[in-house]
Amino acid sequence: MFRKLEQNLAIYSSLFIALAANLPRITFLKEDGIMARHIGNLSFPELIFQILINGLFCFYFFRLLITYLTKPLFKILCFSIIFFVISVFISTIIQFFGFGKLREQYRYILAGCTVRYLVSMLFGVFMVKITDLLKTIRRKELENEQLNNRYLHAELNLLKQQINPHFLFNSFSTLSGIIVENPQKAQLFIGQMAKYFRYTLNSYEKQLVYLQIEIDEVQPYIDLLSMRFEHGLQVEWAIRDEDRQQMLPHLSLQPLLENAVKHNLSYI
């Protein structure tokens, strides 16, 4: 995502800098202007050429700085100087021969390219600094988000560790009484316990699950409570169909059921 933002920023910044650097050149379009009398007229195609090649210079200089931003300063300066000299030379040669300039106008063309590209480089450095600052801010936001996720994950794991021993203790207490009264029911009770613990163990690394899955998987726990309280417990889910596909933390329904039973609530 940020690479696309960086690409768009490079394109629009290059276009803006190229237009700003060549804005004074519009005065060259006037045949009776002071600059035109000394340097020569500037045709509209030549102005478009200067803006385009200046924009390309800004764009690739921008990419150069982004690529070598983490390199030593000396290496960045060397690459920048080489890129600057080559760009000025190519631009001057193309403009001189491509638009039929006179020999005495060569130094003015060279000076103009040099000044425009220097100004463009200064703006480019400024834009790269802004881009790097945005990347730093975004990186810190991602780090904070990851830390928050780890914290929530640790809290959820702690909750699971607290739930399982507590639930296991209550289940064994209930099972000890059922074994004496109804061995067949005790076997069913053990089977439901196995289903519930299989779900808690197999999904231990999951942080979020669908509500419908959580309802289905918590059913063995409800069956265990029903065996424990017999006809004294009835659970009904008043949930809309579209809400059943919402996400929620894993094992979040079990504490609600446990508290409802503990505090003698008849509706959740």
For residue 144, is pLDDT > 80? yes
As for how many domains the chain has, the answer is: 2
CA distance 117 to 16: 13
For residue 2, is pLDDT > 60? no
Q: Which of 80, 114, 143 is the last residue of a domain?
A: 143
Asked, for residue 155, whether it belongs to a domain, the answer is no
Q: Which two tokens stand for residue 130?
A: 């802004």
CA distance 189 to 175: 7
219 and 116 housed in the same domain? no
| Of the candidates 15, 18, 13, 40, the residue with the CA atom closest to the CA atom of residue 28 | 40
Average pLDDT over residues 111-118: 81
Asked, for residue 221, whether it belongs to a domain, the answer is yes
Strand locations in 180-245 (E): 208-210
Strand locations in the chain (E): 208-210, 247-249
135 and 49 housed in the same domain? yes
Asked, for residue 159, whether it belongs to a domain, the answer is no
Asked, for residue 163, whether it belongs to a domain, the answer is no
For residue 30, is pLDDT > 50? yes
Segment 203-232, tens digit of pLDDT? 545 567 888 888 888 888 888 778 777 777
List all residues 6 or more positions away from 1 whose beta carbon is below 8 Å from its beta carbon: none
pLDDT for the residue numbered 1: 47
**Mean pLDDT across the chain, nearest whole number?**
75
For residue 13, is pLDDT > 80? no
Asked, for residue 237, whether it belongs to a domain, the answer is yes
The confidence band for 160, taking pLDDT boundaries of 50, 70 and 90, is low
The confidence band for 157, taking pLDDT boundaries of 50, 70 and 90, is low
Asked, for residue 170, whether it belongs to a domain, the answer is no
Specify burial of residue 23 (Cβ count, 10 A radius: 0-12, 13-18, 19+). Answer: exposed
CA distance 69 to 74: 11
Note down the domain range covering 239: 182-262
Phi, psi of 252, rounded to the nearest 5 degrees? -90, -20
Segment 162-198, tens digit of pLDDT? 556 666 777 777 777 778 777 787 888 888 888 877 7
29 and 112 housed in the same domain? yes
Average pLDDT over residues 94-107: 70
Q: Which of 124, 143, 162 is the last residue of a domain?
A: 143
Question: 31-35, 115-119, 162-166, 197-201 — which one is most confidently predicted on average?
Answer: 115-119
Q: What angle do CA 43, 44, 46 make, to 5 degrees?
A: 65
Q: Which of 113, 143, 173 is the last residue of a domain?
A: 143
Note the pTM of the prediction, 2 decimals.
0.45
